[in-house]
Structure 1
């Protein structure tokens, strides 16, 4: 298949092992920090700045942890998942 003029593929394939955890950490910390912020302060006390601050703090921790945990998780998954 040919590349379209508007392709989003801007990162070389060799960085795929970093791109996937990067995106996963952004999505997961975004959702978890939103839920935690709303649970902590409620809808009345909620502000975007409070949530973004909570998100950034959690992402700064989560991304490196995810990079370190990923090899272990892959090994555990291999032990638990039956291959054909």
Structure 2
């Protein structure tokens, strides 16, 4: 198991991987259509480069987003 102190990094790794997989897949299909070479073109040509950008971006943007959400919301009365 991975120590809990690495949870934000692991979260960013998984989130950026899944989101870039979905977005690059949709974009690749819309741009090039469905054909026999789609998987290679999507995974190697679109997804991996997208993930290489998305992972560090998530690590930078997530704390900013958390602060914005905290500023725009109020605690629940309990």
TM-score under structure 2 length normalisation: 0.89
Q: Which has the higher Rg, Structure 1 or Structure 2?
A: 1
Q: RCO (CA 8 Å, sep 6+): is it higher in 1 or 2?
A: 2
Given the alignment, which residue of 17, 28, 31 partners 1:37?
A: 28
Instruction: Compute the RMSD of aligned alpha carbons.
Output: 1.2
How many residue pairs align between the two structures? 75
Runs of 4+ aligned structure 1 residues displaced above 4 Å come to: none
Contact 1:38 1:46 in 2 (8 A): no
Structure 2, unpaired ranges of 5+: none
Structure 1, unpaired ranges of 5+: 1-9
